[in-house]
Amino acid sequence: MDKDVLNKALLLEAFKGLIKNEKLEEAFARACITNLCYHKSDKKMELNIECYDCVKPDQIKGLEKAISDGLKVRVKVRPGFNSTLNNQLADWQKELILARVKSMKKHFFYFLEESEFSLSGRYLNVNLKNQSASILNAAGVGSCIESAMLDFFKKGVTVKFFDAENCEKTVDYINKRQEMEAKVVSEMMSSISEATARRAQENPQNIPEPPRERPDVKYWSRKSKPENKDPNLIYGRGIKGSVINMSQVDTNSGMVTIQGQIFKTEQRPLKTGKILYIFDITDFTSSLTCKLFTDEEELKLLSQKLVKGQYVRLSGEAQYDMYAKELVVLARDVLLVEVEKTTRMDNAPVKRVELHLHTQMSSLDAISPAKDLINRAAKWGHKAIAITDHGVVQAYPEAQDAVNGLKKKQNKEIKVLYGVEAYFIANEIYNNKGEIDYRNCDTYHAVILVKNQTGLKNLYRIISESHLNYFYKRPRIPKSLFERYREGLIIGSACEAGELFKAVLKGADQEELDRIGSFYDYLEIQPIGNNKFLVRQGDVDDDEGLKDLNRKIVELGDRLNKPVVATCDVHYIDPDDAIYREIIQAGQGYKDASFQAPIFLRTTEEMLEEFAYLGEEKAYEVVVTNTNKIADSIEVVEPIPNGTFPPNMEGAEQEIKTLSENKVMELYGDPLPELVRARVDRELNSIIKNGFSVMYMIAQKLVKKSLEDGYLVGSRGSVGSSFVAYLIGITEVNSLPAHYRCGKCKYSEFFDKDASIACGFDLPDKACPECGEPLIKDGYDIPFETFLGFDGDKEPDIDLNFSGEYQSRAHKYTEELFGEGYTFRAGTIATIAEKTAYGFVKNYLDERQMVRTRAEIERLASGCTGIKRTTGQHPGGVMIVPHNKDIYDFTPIQRPADDTGSNIITTHFDYHSISGRILKLDILGHDDPTVIRMLEDITHVDATTIPIGEKKTMGIFSGTEPLGVSPEDINSQVGTFGVPEFGTKFVRQMLVDTKPTTFAELIRISGLSHGTDVWLNNAQELVRSNVTTLSNVICTRDDIMIYLIQNDLPPLTAFKIMESVRKGKGLTPEYEELMIEKGIPQWYIDSCKKIKYMFPKAHAAAYVMMAFRIAWFKVYYPEAFYATYFSVRADSFDANIVSRGLDTIIRAIEDIEGKGKAATNKEKDVLTILEVAREMYVRGIKCLPVDLYKSDATRFLLTDEGILPPFTALQGLGIAAANNIVEARKDGEEFISIEDLKMKSGISKAVIEILDGHGCLKGLAESSQLTLF
């Protein structure tokens, strides 16, 4: 190849006489040659030119042809342009780019037709006229455009495609491609025909014979089974072709053969009757989604074989899936394969012990769960392993469970060395008050290990104080705090962030090193790879320098007679896991995230090899001998004691019995009906025998206190299944079968044998046959087993809904009952969930301009889930410590989210890990009791006297007539807007579908609406298709047990089936066989198999009882209902809309509904308010404007003209400002001016503008000063 570089020679001068076209001469008049290469062997010229004028693709082609014709060589012109790029690309610039795409990505060019190109910083935004962004990204068109921008305009950009929002014109890629292929084939056939004809004329005897008739072609069926079929071939006919890496597969690959491990499966029924089976597989170079179509019969085999963890080899067609909008493989043949996973093993005769290890509880830092780390160490035969997270001990419960699991399932024993990597204040500084100035003290890392149970409790004290008293950015442990609780603890010098290593690094003298080293019980060294960053940043010259630092620590250990141990500072298990930590750190902005230290869990051999530079004997000492010595010096400890430790309440057993007996006699007389006597005796026996009396009595006292203070309490969960809970006042739900009872003579009549009566409130009115008094209707027919299990020994979980206004008082009262220092809020630990992990991975890839499949993104995201982000608190959970223990017997304590401004103290461990050991009360805040209290205050009606099931109120659940409006007026066929449980669009549609007429049906609807796959994809279709009715479908978990017992299944079996179904575990083959034998309909069995989660009937009954009372007020006291409803939701209310009348409300509703899915959550909340406001206006009730002198701060008020909104109903005006305005007008005088208002209330200019915009300041002068003329 000859190469001649011409220095800015003019193109037309260099090729004078060759370019004869005037238009070409004009286009390239100022073009210069920047590079010219001539390839002699190929007779090919490559010509790079720089242009200063607009040049179009056809002109470049013309230039190539002109030079080629003149010189008789092939010519390739590569133009570059010395021109400015505006935000909107010029047409000629866009043409050049599209021409490049057409030449390189021909089939995808059509997607870019009519698209708009605009520059925004380093991004080139391509706004499409269709919805093909995913296609273009998958096909690499973005990279093609980026390359063109760099070649033509020397502009490095990142291309972003944006789909058209409302796409009416979507390019039919397949049709376009087929048209082109058909055209090519047609041209080829035409040319063949012409050639044949010519040959025939030249040589007639060579005319081919007409084609013979061919027999019908028989295509092989996928289901046919060829002879000698491989038993592992579970789909298709046979694998052909060699396996390629998944990273090599793209939309142009066609038929491919791949092999990998399944990590996700899904099946989706299609309208055609076929089933789409989808599975994601990975070979760890990338991951792909595979799809195949099957039927019910074949699905049974596929769903058993194609499961998570299974390796498969498959062949199929790689194609762009228009539904998934990405590359997928349509599987043709699937073969199960055995792949021997290469897991590292520790084969050393004597194993090391890891003494420095982080789990996922090291916040946003370490990757691996404690369980996986412990299992790996046990698999390797290690006798012990340490847990030393940064500043916390929150992995202890998981570690304890892992050890117990290994013992139980594999009969393996491993000792966990519980510890922490502390943020240690080695040199304390004191302020002028004599307190440690912990904010300004240097912190170092130090590893603290627990030697025995005393040390564990001391560590819990240290962790608690570090969080409560010394928290600044992280929990700090002053040296004096450690010394105070040093008994039972040992401390090591830790990593490069430790006090000792830092001193060695800075070259401290021997005396200083001796002083520092003497404090620690053992010294620590780590692999040099852990500290490579010191070389990168110039603190250490090279690897040898890092080894020298470790040698000095070893020498110091020998001199001080301190054991030196080699640790890994583990943050993940295997080397390949580093990518997950890189993703997490990149998401936090770490610039060196891609330089991951090799901080994986190493085998003994790997560590001995790493420290070979110390000499064989010394390496063995630091890796094996000393780590085992320290492990042997530590006892087996239990971080959380086994057993249950309920609080003690003197006389609780007798009190619950007395209260129950007195109340049941009061209701049902003496002697009691046999059914009632048996239920009370059975429940009391279970409660007292199993030690649950205290839990019941605590709940009873809390509810009693709330009622005395004027607030109803709603029960949650299945506590309403307990008749004793009803008798002592914990719940309003009477779980006995439907019945009548007389309040005067104690006559009763039960309908326990009549399955058609599911709720006593639906019984017809009736007079007492004994004394003539109207009978009281009651009973929800709920079995006790739902609450305490079939044997009555399942620990009760009593959840209570207090008024949101009263919740804090209830918590305070709990402290009064048990004493300060014995009640703590239930702590929670928030970890990275799937959605957040997906975001981490997506951002990581985007920043690196890497395109990956959804399956690969999900695979990477799965490695990032479960990592601790922060801590919090249960919304109402309170943990009770018995008086014979203290909190440090169970857990350290801290503030939620480490908020130093909070006065709330929570458990350090997630409450789930200790709620089985100490009592957890759920004292939750809820709107319904608050609404009831407000309605009672306005109307002076006692809500408990409202007749449940009252006919007119029942009418709004199936129509609108009781409200005096038509369905068209309110755009709803039912009148439940604003009614808890029944006001959402989803539940309103359920009401329309089911048309409930009884209170029992309302309970069933509540159960259906709260379950998962109970109504949708299940009961809805059964009701709509008239397979069965609402009264027969499965709605709550109790329905299953009751129905199966009624159909002659053994009670215990019925209970077990209920438990299995309600937990989403479906039916075992044995259960299904028994149900068929007993004549259970197939639709019922299929319904059980679909359910993922079920609501308890008692929970639904309690919710519906509250909701019905509120609905009653809506029917009979509409002004009070609307004022209360809006008061509770004032932050979503917009007085600027609602006060302007019905037409404005309707327009606002249409505006939000018109946005569809694009509507924000805030707009959706406003829409709910507007729907209720529309109904209010239709019922003749107006909303007045906010009044500067009459409006309340936060509550809506009733007036003769309509309801008066509070100040907080103005968007942007907060509670503090509202209260200030109300306080400022207390003297009764009007404000002189806006200036006066501002001065008296202290409100801001922004609040003044909000008030003015609404018209509240009309007539007020700006200033209080008078101007005299």
Return the CATH number at 428: 3.20.20.140
Classify residue 1205: in a domain, yes or no.
no
pLDDT band at 228 (very low <50, low <70, confident <90, very high): low
| 351 in Cβ contact with 877 (< 8 Å) | no
Burial of 9 (0-12, 13-18, 19+ CB in 10 A): middle
Which phi and psi (to 5°) does residue 25 adopt? -60, -40
The 10s digit of each residue's pLDDT in 551-580 is 999 999 999 999 999 999 999 999 999 999
* Claim to verify: residue 1078 and residue 942 sit in the same structural domain: yes
* Claim to verify: residue 568 and residue 674 sit in the same structural domain: no
Classify residue 849: in a domain, yes or no.
no
The 10s digit of each residue's pLDDT in 936-964 is 999 999 999 999 999 999 999 999 999 99
* Claim to verify: residue 317 and residue 378 sit in the same structural domain: no
Tell me the CB-side half-sphere exposure of residue 889, using CA atoms within 13 A.
16
The single residue listed with the structure tokens 């240290």 is 462
Classify residue 1190: in a domain, yes or no.
no
The single residue listed with the structure tokens 């030079």 is 67
* Claim to verify: residue 610 and residue 732 sit in the same structural domain: no
**Percentage of the chain surpassing pLDDT 90?**
63
Distance CA 856, CA 841 (A): 10
Across 76-85, 737-746, 1052-1061, least confident range: 76-85
Helix (H, G, I), strand (E, B) or coil at 331: strand
Strands 564-566 and 123-127: unpaired
Tally of domains in the chain: 5
Q: Which residues pair with 767 in a beta bridge?
A: 774
CA distances from 1014 to 1021, 1033, 1035, 1045, 1088 (A): 11, 9, 7, 21, 9
Mean pLDDT of 1162-1170: 91
Distance CA 1016, CA 525 (A): 59
Does the structure show a pLDDT above 70 at 442?
yes
The 10s digit of each residue's pLDDT in 897-946 is 999 999 999 999 999 999 888 988 888 888 889 999 999 999 999 999 99
Q: Which of 343, 365, 266 is nearest to 575 (CA)?
A: 343
Which residue type, as a one-letter code, is found at position 1134? D
Give strand ranges (E) for 185-298.
233-235, 254-269, 275-282, 287-294
Q: Which of 9, 103, 3 is nearest to 44 (CA)?
A: 3
Which residue type, as a one-letter code, is found at position 555? E
CATH of the domain at 21: 3.30.300
Classify residue 1236: in a domain, yes or no.
no
* Claim to verify: residue 619 and residue 530 sit in the same structural domain: yes
| 308 in Cβ contact with 346 (< 8 Å) | no
Alpha helices in 1015-1160 (DSSP H): 1020-1024, 1037-1046, 1051-1062, 1069-1077, 1082-1090, 1097-1116, 1118-1128, 1135-1138, 1142-1154
Cis? peptide before 226, omega within 30° of 0: no
Classify residue 516: in a domain, yes or no.
yes
Distance CA 652, CA 658 (A): 10
Which residue type, as a one-letter code, is found at position 491? I
Mean pLDDT of 612-637: 97
* Claim to verify: residue 1083 and residue 946 sit in the same structural domain: yes
| 907 in Cβ contact with 827 (< 8 Å) | yes
Q: Which two tokens stand for residue 481?
A: 């705090």
| 896 in Cβ contact with 392 (< 8 Å) | no
pLDDT of 793: 66
Distance CA 1223, CA 832 (A): 45
Distance CA 750, CA 745 (A): 16
pLDDT of 143: 85
Chosen domain end from 1102, 1117, 1132: 1117
- Stretch (H or E) spanning 38: strand 32-39
Chosen domain end from 1072, 1102, 1117: 1117
- Stretch (H or E) spanning 715: strand 714-715
The 10s digit of each residue's pLDDT in 1040-1073 is 988 898 899 998 899 899 989 988 899 999 999 9
Helix, strand and coil in the chain, % to nearest 5: 45, 15, 40
pLDDT of 225: 47
pLDDT of 166: 58
* Claim to verify: residue 386 and residue 428 sit in the same structural domain: yes
Q: Which residues of 930-956 are buried (b: 16+ CB within 10 A; e: fewer)?
A: bbbbbbbebbebebeebebbbeebbbb
The 10s digit of each residue's pLDDT in 1041-1050 is 888 988 999 9
Does the structure show a pLDDT above 50 at 193?
no
Does the structure show a pLDDT above 80 at 1101?
yes
CATH of the domain at 330: 2.40.50.140
Distance CA 998, CA 951 (A): 9
* Claim to verify: residue 661 and residue 625 sit in the same structural domain: no
Q: Which residues of 1217-1230 are buried (b: 16+ CB within 10 A; e: fewer)?
A: bbbbbbebbeeeee
* Claim to verify: residue 378 and residue 324 sit in the same structural domain: no
Classify residue 350: in a domain, yes or no.
no
Distance CA 789, CA 784 (A): 8
* Claim to verify: residue 538 and residue 576 sit in the same structural domain: yes
The 10s digit of each residue's pLDDT in 448-475 is 999 999 999 999 999 999 999 999 999 9
pTM of the model: 0.76
Chosen domain end from 792, 824, 844: 792
Does the structure show a pLDDT above 50 at 169?
no
| 795 in Cβ contact with 916 (< 8 Å) | yes
Does the structure show a pLDDT above 70 at 790?
no
The single residue listed with the structure tokens 């979503």 is 1132
DSSP 1232-1252: SBHHHHHHHH---HHHHHHHH
pLDDT band at 831 (very low <50, low <70, confident <90, very high): very high
* Claim to verify: residue 527 and residue 560 sit in the same structural domain: yes
Q: Which residues pair with 233 in a beta bridge?
A: 335
Q: In this structure, how many other beta carbons lie within 10 angstroms of the beta carbon of residue 40?
A: 9
The 10s digit of each residue's pLDDT in 591-604 is 889 999 999 999 99
Classify residue 856: in a domain, yes or no.
no
pLDDT of 595: 93
| 776 in Cβ contact with 807 (< 8 Å) | no
Helix (H, G, I), strand (E, B) or coil at 871: strand
pLDDT band at 206 (very low <50, low <70, confident <90, very high): very low
Q: Is the torsion defined by CA of 953, 954, 960, 961 positive or negative?
A: negative
Mean pLDDT of 533-555: 96
The single residue listed with the structure tokens 């299945």 is 718
| 784 in Cβ contact with 751 (< 8 Å) | no
The single residue listed with the structure tokens 């829409």 is 1167
pLDDT of 184: 46
Distance CA 1000, CA 236 (A): 52
pLDDT of 211: 40
Q: What residues have CB less than 8 Å from 952, skipping those under 6 apart?
A: 962, 1115
pLDDT of 221: 38
- Bigger pLDDT: 6 vs 229: 229
- Stretch (H or E) spanning 1167: helix 1161-1178
Q: Is the torsion defined by CA of 639, 641, 646, 650 positive or negative?
A: negative
The single residue listed with the structure tokens 């899915």 is 1157
Range of the domain at 485: 370-632
CATH of the domain at 1045: 1.10.150.700
Mean pLDDT of 357-372: 97
DSSP at 736: S
Q: Which two tokens stand for residue 770?
A: 């004994």
pLDDT band at 718 (very low <50, low <70, confident <90, very high): confident
Q: What residues have CB less than 8 Å from 201, skipping those under 6 apart?
A: none
Does the structure show a pLDDT above 50 at 754?
yes
Distance CA 906, CA 1182 (A): 47
Mean pLDDT of 1005-1030: 88
pLDDT of 1267: 43
pLDDT band at 700 (very low <50, low <70, confident <90, very high): very high
Q: Which two tokens stand for residue 95?
A: 């043409």
Q: Which two tokens stand for residue 994?
A: 């089911």
pLDDT of 761: 94
**Percentage of the chain surpassing pLDDT 70?**
93
DSSP at 24: H
Tell me the CB-side half-sphere exposure of residue 687, using CA atoms within 13 A.
27
pLDDT band at 107 (very low <50, low <70, confident <90, very high): confident
DSSP 420-451: EEEEEESS--B-TTS-B-GGGS--EEEEEEE-
Distance CA 213, CA 194 (A): 24
Classify residue 662: in a domain, yes or no.
yes
Q: Which two tokens stand for residue 962?
A: 């009781």
Q: What residues have CB less than 8 Å from 840, skipping those under 6 apart?
A: 583, 584, 586, 587, 832, 861, 864
Q: Which two tokens stand for residue 1174?
A: 């529309």
Mean pLDDT of 1217-1224: 94
* Claim to verify: residue 401 and residue 299 sit in the same structural domain: no
Q: What residues have CB less than 8 Å from 157, skipping those under 6 apart?
A: 119, 122, 123, 124, 146, 149, 150
pLDDT of 1197: 95
Distance CA 374, CA 410 (A): 13
Q: What is the mean pLDDT of the chain?
A: 89
